[in-house]
Chain A
């Protein structure tokens, strides 16, 4: 683990709460408004929930990112679960394979500024999102 990185192991529903609380604390520390911190915490909650629902275990990594004059927060949710067969379909609102509301991925993309997903069936899924301070 590098300095300034926070890693949260996601193994149960309680870890979802831990991850989003740590994310909110980091966002506030970085000077995000309480409103933006809530958006960030909500996105973390959804990403961590996908890990618990689909992969059972994985991890969330939170870190500070810098670009020219901007500062932001980066959240990486990774697991070695079943992976997503059709990412385009998973990115459509309302798509789900577990009978839930959907993966919430389109929603997470709307909450954040940057969104990237890598997934291979049988290899797991990594979702990387960023939000920049206004």
Chain B
């Protein structure tokens, strides 16, 4: 199941579906980085609201995505981690250290707008 990537001005928005396989996540990682380059995007929002499970592979891939995008000089915000998913992540000892998170898409966009304002 491919992850749709939407372009909203200088921001790319990737919306996760419930059942993402490892191959889908790897594909997303490449796709996002390529599109950040192509569109000279300043930020990426990854919306994981619909994601059923955030296991070790998924959280590692998200950290890698954020790291690659930072190397391109852009920002990543993960939005929509559900409370039970967050609970399971903590129990598993998974972290998204160094990656910005926000409650939902709206908050994520607001965070980026504020950030762009400060740097413009």
Contacts and interface: CB of A to CB of B under 8 A. Distances in A.
A17 B19 contact: yes
Interface stretch (B8-16, B30-38, B49-57, B67-75): B49-57
Given A17-B21, A100-B60, A111-B88, A38 B52 contact: yes
A101 B56 contact: yes
B56 A13 contact: no
Nearest to B82: A38
B22 A42 contact: no
14 contacts: A20-B53, A39-B87, A39-B88, A42-B54, A42-B55, A42-B88, A49-B55, A101-B56, A104-B55, A104-B92, A106-B93, A107-B56, A111-B91, A111-B92
Interface of A: 13-14, 16-17, 20-21, 24, 34-35, 38-39, 41-42, 45-46, 49, 93, 100-102, 104, 106-108, 110-111
Interface of B: 19-23, 52-57, 60, 82-85, 87-88, 91-94
Contacts, number: 71
